[in-house]
Amino acid sequence: MSGSVVIAGLGPGNDALVTPEVTEALAKATDIVGYIPYVARVAERPGLTLHPSDNRVEIDRSRHALEMASEGKHVVVVSSGDPGVFAMAAAVLEAVEHGEPAWRDIDIQILPGITAMLAASAACGAPLGHDFCAINLSDNMKPWELIEKRLRLAAEADFAMAFYNPRSKSRPEGFGKAVKALQEACGDDRPMIFARNVSRPDQTIKIVPLTEVTEDMADMRTVVLLGNSQTRLIERCNADPLIYTPRSVEG
């Protein structure tokens, strides 16, 4: 019997953002693997075994999924957001490359999901409506100097920007350093957007001019967006402002 691994994106939290393709994969699975709060989003049923695991064990979790698949199980690795954006897809493929040769024969599929930056963007308008970049601010996986270099080059390119993992408990100083680099490199008062618990009932969206941003404004449940030099704010009387980055730049 030949097993499979599906790496599925659950979106940012609201079940109305889970694609039918992912829902169907969950319905066919024999085993669900993932970080505890993501596995908790999958309903228990007979024939399904849940394997929640702690954060920061992505490679162990990936190897476990591949081992079960090679025993004939149909494993779904659940990921928040989109599995290809700072999530489980790259981890599973890293485990495949460095693991058992037979793992390369496993049927592996990746199912996209709504990633946090796009849900956050939609919640406040279209701040990523022009060329943009996505940067993981955690320096667990790369040197801080590289992050700072990317921030400065992204500002020079006048990209709108999205930042994942802005501020961890273990390294809270990183976000403050990123903000300082951005304030220097951008040199203006473009809006920074703090989207916390995006798509969930307790979602909050805060829009703050870049010069007024302080490091305590983000935590690990926040995705942070930054406009480019052209980003516009539309004030409204009866609702929160809308924010968008124009599609065009004058020649």
Site for a copy of itself in 49-108 (CB under 8 A): 58, 82-86, 89-91, 93-94, 96-97, 104-105, 107-108
Task: Give the nearer residue to a copy of itself in terms of CB position, either 110 or 226.
Answer: 110
Helices (H), the chain: 20-28, 36-39, 58-70, 88-98, 116-124, 144-156, 173-186
Query: Diameter of the chain by CA atoms?
Result: 62
Q: Taking CB under 8 A as the criterion, which residues in 13-52 touch a copy of itself?
A: 14-21, 24
Three-state secondary-structure class, residue 220: coil
Parallel, antiparallel or unpaired: strands 160-164 and 222-226: antiparallel
Task: Give the nearer residue to a copy of itself in terms of CB position, either 46 or 201.
Answer: 201
- Among residues 28, 45, 149, 200, which is the contact residue for a copy of itself, using CB under 8 A? 149
Task: Give the nearer residue to a copy of itself in terms of CB position, either 216 or 240.
Answer: 240
Per-residue interface string for the shown chain with a copy of itself, residues 107-146, x marking contact by CB under 8 A: xx-xxxxxx--xx-xxx-xxxxxxxxxxxx----xxx--x
Three-state secondary-structure class, residue 73: coil
**Distance, C-alpha 190 to centroid of its chain:** 23
Report the nearest approach of a copy of itself to the CB of residue 206 (Å): 18
Report the nearest approach of a copy of itself to the CB of residue 245 (Å): 6
Per-residue interface string for the shown chain with a copy of itself, residues 169-208, x marking contact by CB under 8 A: ----------------------------------------
Q: Tokens in use for 160?
A: 């709108």
Report the nearest approach of a copy of itself to the CB of residue 110 (Å): 4
Helix (H) or strand (E) holding 226: strand 222-226
Task: Give the nearer residue to a copy of itself in terms of CB position, either 31 or 58.
Answer: 58
Q: Between the CA of residue 245 and those of 88, 202, 234, what are the distances in Å? A: 30, 26, 11
